[in-house]
Structure 1
Amino acid sequence: MVTRRRRSPTLVNPDEPELRVPVEDLPLAPPKLGLILGISAGFFVPFFYLVFFHYRIEEELRWSIAICFAMSFAGFFLSLKMIPVAARYLLRRNLFGYDINKNGTPQGLIRVPESLGIVISIVYILIAILFQHFNFTADSNWLVEYNAALLCICFMTLLGFLDDVLDVPWRMKLALPSFAALPLLMAYAGHTSIIIPKPLIQYVGVAVLDLGWIYKFYMGIVTVFCTNSINIHAGINGLEVGQTVVIAAAILIHNVMQIGASSDPEYKQAHAFSIYLVLPLLTTSLALFSYNWYPSSVFVGDSYTYFAGMAMAVVGILGHFSETLMIFLLPQLLNFLLSCPQIFKIIPCPRHRLPRFDPTTGLLTGTRDGTLVNQFLRLFGQCSERSLCIRLLIVQVLACLFCFYLRHILSGWYK
């Protein structure tokens, strides 16, 4: 969480004049690589087991996945090196904020660089562009959709950085993703039909229903929701990036499972396409997570939340599993539903929508706002910011596991 930016060259606490800390004397804390190593092992080990041992996947596809991972791994280290450099430039340009969850403490006086998502998005787009050289031929039919997806992500990153600089009203945030998604919707050449579950075929009359333009309209709604879903939980150290890491890992494993269980070459290619886009998202987000975990050395800004949301949206659409993606985003959907009465002014919106921080105890307390974070705090009582983030990330993990379980239960309905 950040407060209004200030342009003072030093950090001054008016109540304690002796606390004056020059910006040059505040280097970023080292990245928390031990944490990242433990988290990475939790999903990369099952991912490689599924790809190289459990399923009989074609050697050419395995080789492409291995190349994508190698490039994404290089992107992780490039992001680690670029974040401190970009942080210095952002501080010079007064793109910083104060952590309001640490008000009244020495950490609440430190200027924290914002909009570090711009670094992650640039590295991501660079990896995705270079990967085309190893996987696609000049006449590949997938190349048009692939570049359209990158254009949407690039467009959304630009709009996110614009929001960081100009502080766009939240109502505009609902409209901006619609424009950013146009290149993908125009280039989309996939199916616009849905498979009707067996118990419902007798009522619908057909096994496969073509929705036409309605399906594309639905895809537009998905992009709008995904780009705002990551931002809707913003404000807790590590939460935005953490939930992106969890969802991206779940998408990665889901794609491998679908490739291994299918015999349709086109279906396999669609999910491989999704892997190529989500792997660099996961690794670059891990690099940012190492700096954004509590206590945050950097803030991600809307440039990251918009970028990550749009990346997941295009991955779900072009991988043909946008319905599954919405289940992965179940906590964000619940958060939106809880906030709807106040967003649309059905009931009065309280002045303090964010959790309250008590500097004497270092704990957060929920307010009357309907958001999931505040409801969580009101249900479980006060807790520290780190504890709150961990609990919410556990909820995100449970949502992804529920999605896998639900797909397993319903798989018989579509065979």
Structure 2
Amino acid sequence: MSLIFLAINGGLSAVGAVICYQLILTYIPIFIARKMYGNDQCKVSNAPVPEPMGVICAAVYLIVMFMFIPFPFLEWKGQSEFPYEKLLALLSGLISISTAILLGFADDMLDLKWRHKLLFPTLSSLPLLMVYYVSGNSTTVIVPTIVRHLVQPIVLLPVTINISFIYYIFMGMVIVFCTNAINILAGINGLESGQSLVISASVCLFNFVQIFRFSAENSTGFWHHTISLYFLLPFTACTAILFYFNKYPSRVFVGDTFCYWSGMTLAVVSILGHFSKTLMLFFVPQIINFLYSIPQLFHLVPCPRHRLPKYDPKTDTVSMSIAEFKKTDLKRLGALFIAVCKSIGMLHVKEVEKDGEIYLQINNLTIINLVLKFAGPLHEKTLNDVLMSIQILCSLLAFFIRFYLASLFYDVVE
């Protein structure tokens, strides 16, 4: 029956994709008339681009999901035993995603500060985490074999450990990271929607592989990966249409609404599907980008308002953008980071003298600028293709680690 419901979900997803296509075409002039647009800073033309078009696709996604709610539970209709916990899991995930979309739209309209962007996803995660708690879901983790062997002379660790409330902190951190990771790695046509599409498609493939491996519909693992697909198939379909309009040359901007929606959806499916560690493997480029960006995000190194690549209208290419600041403004940890990254070739650093003071010029700390540092100026479409290729290669690496290397660290790999 679950496979039939997946087929129904896929059919609704296809319908949702068609509706998204038509609605985006309809709302492009409406957004511009309402002055809901941005300007593409990497183009010679300064024509307005509708933003945030992600809210349209998010609305269609929610409607598709709401229509699908009854289907997985039809076989229990009229029976005394009903899987209320499964229904609660589905509804709590939808509530968290709906809240994230609302807060993302608020960010687009009000241009929230970063401290709010960290707080709001935490609030959005509460419905999911509360239902996870009251449903008595597992907070047990498997201890890696290598860790048990290392500490064996000191203490004998069990194969599994119940980490209790620490597990909820971890899940909350996953949600906060996912909702902001897409937003941090952004700035060129098609990047936000493209990376989300690659990750979503990769996780869908992972779920299908796991469903095939579990095979028995009454197993817990089968349900975990099935409910993940219930959320992801409509998301992937709607995102594919949004990417079509958002890729170079972009006809729409996705906005922060999409970034919140995308990150929350991926985080929700990983928690409901019990594969949050695996999800992090698919987020490797975003993790690298976050780690590389930490000095600017936490103001160890001065951070400009925007870190977009620098556009050259003469050659129609983009190159790495530069942050310039007084050397005396640099904090100790920031100076250490610059020294280390410069020594290994991961950072462009140049000293210039102005008005008797030494200024430092470094590339802005994003992997977009890092790619441009090594590759030199690129056309915007070429740059996005390179970044998407990196994302796809990292997904392939994630599958290799998950299915071939994980057994080296864990005794049991499901």
Aligned residue for 1:230, secondary structure, equals helix
Letter in 1 for 2:116: M
Aligned partner of 1:414 in structure 2 is 411
Aligned residue for 1:101, secondary structure, equals coil
- The counterpart of 1:345, out of the listed 299, 311, 320, is 299
Aligned partner of 1:128 in structure 2 is 65
TM-aligned CA distance change 1:359 to 1:66, over 3 Å: same
Aligned partner of 2:347 in structure 1 is none
- CA drift at 1:89: 2.4
Aligned residue for 1:158, secondary structure, equals helix
Mapped to 2, the partners of 1:97 and 1:355 lie a distance apart of 17
Letter in 2 for 1:290: Y
Let me know the Cα RMSD of the aligned residues. 1.5
Aligned residue for 1:181, secondary structure, equals helix
2:114 aligned with 1:170: yes
TM-score, normalised to structure 2's length? 0.82
- CA drift at 1:347: 1.9
Aligned partner of 2:388 in structure 1 is 393
Deviates more, 1:219-228 or 1:170-179: 170-179
Aligned residue for 1:354, secondary structure, equals coil
- Please give the per-residue CA displacement for 1:313-336, whole angstroms capped at 9, x wherever unaligned: 001110100001111011111111
Aligned residue for 2:318, secondary structure, equals strand
Structure showing greater radius of gyration is 2
Number of residue-to-residue matches in the alignment:
352
Aligned partner of 2:29 in structure 1 is 88
Counterpart contact for 2:2–2:72, Cα < 8 Å: no
Gaps of at least 5 residues in structure 2 are 322-362
- CA drift at 1:257: 1.1
Mapped to 2, the partners of 1:83 and 1:144 lie a distance apart of 32
Counterpart contact for 2:103–2:257, Cα < 8 Å: yes
Letter in 2 for 1:116: M
Identity %: 39
2:108 aligned with 1:154: no
Letter in 2 for 1:279: L
Counterpart contact for 1:274–1:318, Cα < 8 Å: yes
- CA drift at 1:387: 0.3
- The counterpart of 2:143, out of the listed 196, 215, 223, is 196
- CA drift at 1:92: 2.1
Moved over 4 A (4+): none
Counterpart contact for 1:196–1:414, Cα < 8 Å: no
- CA drift at 1:196: 2.0
Aligned residue for 1:353, secondary structure, equals coil
Letter in 2 for 1:143: L
- The counterpart of 2:5, out of the listed 38, 51, 64, is 64
- CA drift at 1:349: 2.5
Aligned partner of 1:372 in structure 2 is 367
Aligned partner of 1:319 in structure 2 is 273
Mapped to 1, the partners of 2:171 and 2:9 lie a distance apart of 26
Aligned partner of 1:217 in structure 2 is 169
Aligned partner of 1:247 in structure 2 is 199
- CA drift at 1:350: 4.9
2:204 aligned with 1:283: no
Mapped to 1, the partners of 2:304 and 2:71 lie a distance apart of 53
Aligned partner of 1:77 in structure 2 is 18
2:182 aligned with 1:185: no
2:255 aligned with 1:301: yes
Letter in 2 for 1:407: R
Mapped to 1, the partners of 2:294 and 2:317 lie a distance apart of 27
Counterpart contact for 1:247–1:400, Cα < 8 Å: yes
- Please give the per-residue CA displacement for 1:184-230, whole angstroms capped at 9, x wherever unaligned: 01011321111223343453511111111100110000000000111
- Please give the per-residue CA displacement for 1:94-124, whole angstroms capped at 9, x wherever unaligned: 111110001xx2xx22111101111111111
Aligned residue for 2:161, secondary structure, equals strand
TM-aligned CA distance change 1:124 to 1:195, over 3 Å: same
Mapped to 1, the partners of 2:118 and 2:368 lie a distance apart of 21
Letter in 2 for 1:195: I
Mapped to 2, the partners of 1:404 and 1:293 lie a distance apart of 26
TM-aligned CA distance change 1:414 to 1:71, over 3 Å: farther
- CA drift at 1:63: 1.1
Deviates more, 1:136-145 or 1:367-376: 136-145
Gaps of at least 5 residues in structure 1 are 1-59
Aligned residue for 1:136, secondary structure, equals helix
Mapped to 2, the partners of 1:226 and 1:262 lie a distance apart of 27
Letter in 2 for 1:269: W
